Amino acid sequence: MKKTFLEITDMPTDKLQALGKLRTVLVGTFNKSREHKHAMKLLREVLKFMYNKCVEFEKHLEAKETTTTKATKPKANKETK
């Protein structure tokens, strides 16, 4: 039988505590929402939204890095060929 409660030790570690208390809040919210279909659905929607925002932000950073790399890369001319 699978355990029904999520524990903080089930989550990925955050040795630098970069997320503050977010992991603890997520575990508590999940455990509280298990018995409430609407709350679990809302939690899932919020997490999907945040995941998509993270992916969107990472793509933006990659595009920015690519643009910066192209702008700083010296163009080849007849003398450098």
Domain assignments of the chain as residue spans, ordered by start: 8-70
pTM of this prediction?
Answer: 0.72
For residue 68, what pLDDT is reported? 78
Whether the predicted pLDDT of 23 surpasses 90: yes
Contacts of 29 (CB under 8 A, 6+ apart): 43
Q: Which residues of 16-39 are buried (b: 16+ CB within 10 A; e: fewer)?
A: eeeeeeebeebbebbeebeeeeee
CA dist 20 to 14, 16, 25, 26, 28, Å?
9, 9, 10, 11, 14
For residue 3, what pLDDT is reported? 73
pLDDT tens figures, 31-80: 999 999 999 999 999 999 999 999 999 999 999 888 877 766 666 666 65
